[in-house]
Amino acid sequence: MKLLEQLKAKGIAKVVITFDGSGDSGGIDGVYCYDEDNKEVNAGELEAALFELGDAIIERNSEIDFNNDGCFGTIILDVESGQIKIEINTRYVEYDTACKEASMQDYLKEENV
């Protein structure tokens, strides 16, 4: 039986896979399954296959990059349609630059200039 059929048979309507990482390493944080009423359902023996799916999605999406400050996000699988939505949050360092001009006299005693 295919994965989508197995998920449907367990009453799973939505799968949420979370990922996170930085500094050249990262991966799946968790796999969460929900029924049509948005109540959490235990994936049981299907959890390993869902981790594999998450890993494959991460591997094939160049926007998911754990280098430097990395990224985090969610992969949402709609079981009925088989459609996947990927939300990627990329981290980056931001800084502001200010320039100022002054005379050495502003900072040193007169005899040291």
What is the count of structural domains for the chain?
1
pLDDT score of 113: 52
pTM: predicted TM-score of the whole model, two decimal places: 0.82
Q: What is the CA radius of gyration of the chain?
A: 24
Q: Which of 22, 16, 112, 106 is nearest to 69 (CA)?
A: 22
What is the residue range of 106's domain? 3-112
Reported as a single tens digit per residue, the pLDDT across 21-73 is: 998 889 999 999 999 999 999 999 999 999 999 999 999 998 898 988 999 99
Q: What are phi and psi of 56, to 5 degrees?
A: -65, -40
Identify the residue whose tokens are 């754990």.
Answer: 66
Q: Which residue type occupies 15?
A: V
pLDDT score of 83: 97
